[in-house]
Each structure stands twice: as structure tokens, then as C-alpha cells.
């Protein structure tokens, strides 16, 4: 069975939107298959938190499931509640933050599996399991050195010495998270893997998970029983040590709203921070920091037209930015024409480097005012893997 995807869904109509964000679902499916192959015998889950990293969980999740994903991870309970409507009844959904006290009932009632990061969370869910009179499947997260989420070694020792603390809880997975996976040579990676093994040995036997996107490329020693790719699904490079093996999933084009010719001495934008020293032609385009085009680092960014770099001039405004089109032959780029802000050669990682950030932030900052076009949906479905996969 295949699922029909409309040529566009979500976002403003093309006739009125200032920019068009294209999401290649065939590339998304291909990335999942590559990551699953890289993971060897480990189950390959899919992380779709933050509305599938800003690309639309309603469109992304079904493609990932048809590509083979049977386990999905989100950050919040309500993300899991939304996701439930877009995947099959048999798909597992795990909530990384676990529930807050008043969210436990909603989490369990929807069949979401909580990650328990603290003794307090364990207590809340244990109490709910006792009230329900049934065992509840959970994930235990261990802090192996990142000092962010997870049970400390002292917490694990307390659980080991007091088994009643896990009464009514069925531990289905024990996980941790790598702090330096994007730097393969960092010794912290091996230290965390060893710490996970040591701490997990004190707990009830369960499958283990450590690697997210970058960790998958550290090799089999980090795969354990389940891997959890997120940003890599959407084309973000796992590290900077070689070519990105993943396909670009997003591209972005914005409309030119106005063009003008500047004389020497004319200035551009808030604060008048850029000044022309020769006659220049400039274009104002319909994307600004409200659309994810960060104000910081603007002068290191560029737009593109027919393979030609168009430097950003001055400060980016909330709804617009100005680019230099002096070297574009006159008549080729006029009002309502389009320039590229993300393309196959200048993707989220390149833009992130210009801004001094990471591709994750670029993806999740893409604005809600774009017209969105989802392509390759049928191709993704036709090439997907059928049948049930392993569950962890």
C-alpha cells in the first residue's frame, strides 16, 4: 500500500508566502535506510521531537515508519500524543523527558513509554502503576558523564539495593547519551560507553542504547541494542571529519520584494551598519529572523542565484534581508524573482558554520510562514521496507 502525498501541505499558500521550503521525503527515507544499515544488528529508531526537527511530524513520521522505523522518540508527552495519530498502533513511542507528575496518566493512557531520568520520576510512575494494578514498561536513563539527564551512579546504587523502588515497572531499555559523539577521537566517548555498561550491570537486565545520530558513526562498540538517530535523518552531517554521507532533505527559496541601485555612501539596514563604496545593486528578500534567518552572523551569510553567491548586507530584519545582486546580469533577477537560501551545495551545515552554530538549530528554527512543499513521497513509499521490525 502506498500513501498519496499532496504536492504541498502545511504553511501559507504559494501565491501569498514570501518563501518556499521544500522537504524531500525520498531523501529522508534514504537517510533512514543508510543509518539502519550503519547500525548493523541494532534496532534503528527515529527521533521526531520538535515537530520532526521543524519539518512536520505529520508528513515525516509515516515515511519513516514505512522505511522501517518501529520505534519513535519525542521529548515531551504532548509530542507523543500528536505523533500517535500519524503512526500505526503497533509503533512504539518513547518520551525522552518523561512525564511531569500531572502528565503521568495522559502519558500511560496513550501507550507512550516514559524515560525515567530521576528517582522522583520513578516514584511518580511507580505510583501510577500501583493504582492501575499492572506493570508499566519504562526506559531508565543513566547519567554517564554529561550531567544533563539521567540517574546518577548513587541513584543506580539505591535502585540496586532497594528493588522495591522499581516495583510495577518493567524496564524495557536502559539508555544514556553521548556528549562528544561528533568528535570521534574524544576519549569521553569510550568512557561513557564503559560507564553505561558498568551502571547497567547493577540494574535488571535490559537492552541498552547509547548512540544518537553521530554516535552511530563511531562504530559497533557504540551501537548496543538500539540507536536513536535524529538530526542525521534530516541530512545534518554526523561530524566534520569527512564528506557527509547523508542526503540533503531541505531546500529554501525566498522571493525578491524589491530591488534598487545604491550610490557610493548609501547605507543599508538597521543601524546603517553597511555602506556602499561603489555603485551597487541590491535586493530585499522576504525572509528574516522571524523565519529562522538569524540576525547574528548575517554578514557571513549569503543567498544564491544560479550558482552565484549573493552576500547579505547589513542587519537581517524580522521579516526581510538585503543581498548584493551587483554581479547578477540586469534583467535576470527582478521583483518577485526567487533566490535560494538553502540548496544542495549550501545546506544546513554550511549555513550553520556561517552563523557559528549547528545544523540542528538551523532546522528547528525554520519559520512557520513558509509555503511548504513535500516532494518524493511516492518514491519514499515505493522503496520502503515492508513488514514488522524488531521492537526494543
Pair 305, 345: CB distance under 8 Å: no
**Which residue, among 110, 142, 136, has the nearest Cα to 123 in the 3D structure?**
136
d(CA 120, CA 101): 9
CA angle 379, 383, 386 (to 5 degrees): 130
Phi/psi for 146 (5° steps) reads -85, -20
Counting beta carbons within 10 angstroms of the beta carbon of residue 259, is it exposed (0 to 12), middle (13 to 18) or buried (19 or more)?
middle
**Which residue, among 43, 59, 50, has the nearest Cα to 10 in the 3D structure?**
59
d(CA 44, CA 241): 23
d(CA 358, CA 172): 32
d(CA 168, CA 207): 18
d(CA 213, CA 231): 6
Catalytic residue among 32, 49, 360, 374, which?
A: 49
**Which residue, among 67, 54, 72, 86, has the nearest Cα to 25 in the 3D structure?**
67
**Which residue, among 177, 267, 187, 164, has the nearest Cα to 215 in the 3D structure?**
177
DSSP 72-90: EEESSHHHHHHHHTTS-TT
**Which residue, among 89, 90, 22, 61, has the nearest Cα to 380 in the 3D structure?**
61
Pair 72, 87: CB distance under 8 Å: yes
Pair 116, 122: CB distance under 8 Å: yes
DSSP 156-216: HHHHHH-GGGGTTEEEEEEE---SSTTSTT-THHHHHHHHHHHHHTTS----EE---HHHH
d(CA 22, CA 11): 11
Catalytic residue among 53, 222, 270, 370, which?
A: 270
Q: Examine the residue annotation and report whether 49 is marked as an active-site residue of this protein.
A: yes
Residues serving a catalytic function are 49, 270
Amino acid at each position: 500500500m502506498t500513501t498519496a502525498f499532496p504536492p504541498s501541505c502545511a504553511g501559507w499558500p504559494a501565491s501569498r508566502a514570501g518563501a518556499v521550503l521544500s522537504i524531500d521525503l525520498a531523501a529522508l527515507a534514504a537517510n533512514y535506510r543508510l543509518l539502519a544499515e550503519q547500525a548493523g544488528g541494532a534496532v534503528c529508531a527515529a527521533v521526531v521531537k520538535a515537530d520532526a526537527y521543524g519539518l512536520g511530524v505529520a508528513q515525516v513520521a509515516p515515511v519513516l515508519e514505512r522505511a522501517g522505523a518501529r520505534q519513535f522518540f519525542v521529548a515531551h508527552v504532548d509530542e507523543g500524543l500528536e505523533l500517535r495519530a500519524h503512526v500505526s498502533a503497533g509503533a512504539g513511542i518513547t518520551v525522552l523527558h518523561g512525564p511531569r507528575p500531572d502528565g503521568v496518566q495522559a502519558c500511560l493512557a496513550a501507550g507512550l513509554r516514559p524515560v525515567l531520568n530521576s528517582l522522583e520520576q520513578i516514584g511518580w510512575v511507580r505510583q501510577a502503576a500501583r493504582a492501575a494494578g499492572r506493570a508499566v514498561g519504562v526506559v531508565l536513563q543513566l547519567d554517564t558523564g554529561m550531567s544533563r539527564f539521567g540517574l546518577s551512579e548513587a541513584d543506580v546504587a539505591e535502585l540496586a539495593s532497594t528493588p522495591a523502588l522499581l516495583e510495577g515497572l518493567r524496564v524495557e531499555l536502559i539508555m544514556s547519551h553521548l556528549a562528544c559523539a561528533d568528535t570521534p577521537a574524544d576519549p569521553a566517548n569510550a568512557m561513557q560507553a564503559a560507564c553505561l555498561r558498568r551502571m547497567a550491570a547493577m540494574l535488571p537486565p535490559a537492552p541498552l542504547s547509547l548512540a544518537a545520530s553521530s554516535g552511530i558513526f563511531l562504530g559497533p562498540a557504540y551501537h548496543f541494542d538500539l540507536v536513536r538517530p535524529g538530526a542525521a535523518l534530516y541530512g545534518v552531517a554526523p561530524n566534520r571529519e569527512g564528506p557527509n554521507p547523508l542526503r540533503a532533505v531541505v531546500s529554501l527559496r525566498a522571493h525578491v520584494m524589491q530591488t534598487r541601485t545604491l550610490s557610493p555612501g548609501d547605507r543599508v539596514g538597521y543601524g546603517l551598519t553597511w555602506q556602499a563604496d561603489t555603485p551597487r545593486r541590491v535586493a530585499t528578500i522576504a525572509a528574516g529572523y522571524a523565519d529562522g534567518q538569524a540576525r547574528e552572523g548575517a554578514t557571513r551569510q549569503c543567498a544564491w542565484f544560479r550558482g552565484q553567491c549573493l552576500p547579505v548586507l547589513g542587519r537581517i530584519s524580522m521579516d526581510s534581508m538585503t543581498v548584493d545582486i551587483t554581479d547578477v546580469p540586469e534583467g535576470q533577477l527582478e521583483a518577485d524573482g526567487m533566490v535560494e537560501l538553502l540548496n544542495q551545495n549550501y545546506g544546513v551545515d554550511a549555513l550553520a558554520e556561517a552563523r557559528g552554530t549547528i545544523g540542528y538549530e538551523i532546522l528547528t528554527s525554520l519559520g512557520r510562514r513558509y509555503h511548504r512543499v513535500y516532494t518524493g513521497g511516492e518514491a519514499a513509499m515505493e522503496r520502503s521496507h515492508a513488514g514488522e521490525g524488531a521492537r526494543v
